[in-house]
Amino acid sequence: MNRRAAIKMLMGGAVALSGILPLSAIANFMGNLKADDAISKITGGKHTASADLKLKTPKLAENGSQVPVTVDATALTGVKSVFLIVHENLKPVAMRVDFESADVAAFASFRVKMGKPTKVTAIAHTANGFVTANGSTKVTKGGC
């Protein structure tokens, strides 16, 4: 891709971003708050645990600044978005992933920072409500 096309794309994308995502709505639960408050803000207090939502975190992380996390909701149907909550972090909501197309597998893998040993929760927003899965990670050296 040449430079001109790249710039065009970038600008188009930025417009699309600001148009669809209301920033204030995100900030609502992306800030400094308790993990449980964040979960109830996202789910509206109604969520069920399910084995179909798979959350993969290491049991023991040596380096808290690079903890690999995988959220796999492919066994669920009608997944609109997934959230990852790291309970002991100052900002517990680490990531929100919105699936905008049927062409996307409800799957995401990334790395997060963890300050200390913590419970980790994944939330999937499906057509039939909110589904959660829990895990926990021990951190020997915090990375926040």
Partner 1 sequence: MAKKIKARAKMKSGLIEVKYKITHPMETGRRKDKSGNIVAEEYINHITILKNGKEMLRLSPNSTVSANPYLFVKLNGAKGDEITLLWVSNTGEKNSSTTKVK
Helix, strand or coil, per DSSP, at residue 124: strand
Task: Out of 37, 48, 110, 129, point to the residue binding partner 1 (CB under 8 A).
Answer: 110
Yes or no: say if 35 and 85 are a contact pair by the CB < 8 Å rule: yes
Q: What backbone phi and psi angles, to 5 degrees, belong to 35? A: -55, -40
42 touching partner 1, by CB under 8 A: no
15 touching partner 1, by CB under 8 A: no
144 touching partner 1, by CB under 8 A: yes
89 touching partner 1, by CB under 8 A: yes
Task: Out of 22, 34, 36, 105, point to the residue binding partner 1 (CB under 8 A).
Answer: 105
Structural tokens at position 138: 């021990």
143 touching partner 1, by CB under 8 A: yes
Nearest to partner 1 of 111, 141 (CB atom): 111
30 touching partner 1, by CB under 8 A: yes
Yes or no: say if 89 and 31 are a contact pair by the CB < 8 Å rule: no
75 touching partner 1, by CB under 8 A: no
127 touching partner 1, by CB under 8 A: no
Task: Select from 108, 117, 32 the least CA-distant residue to 68.
Answer: 108
Residues near 133 by beta carbon (within 8 Å), at least 6 away in sequence: 49, 50, 51, 53, 54, 55, 121, 122, 124
Task: Select from 83, 79, 82 the least CA-distant residue to 126.
Answer: 79
Number of residues that bind partner 1 (CB under 8 A): 43
Q: Which residues of the shown chain bind partner 1 in the complex (CB under 8 A)?
A: 1, 6, 9-10, 13-14, 16-17, 20-21, 26, 30, 65-68, 70, 86, 89-91, 93-105, 107-113, 143-144
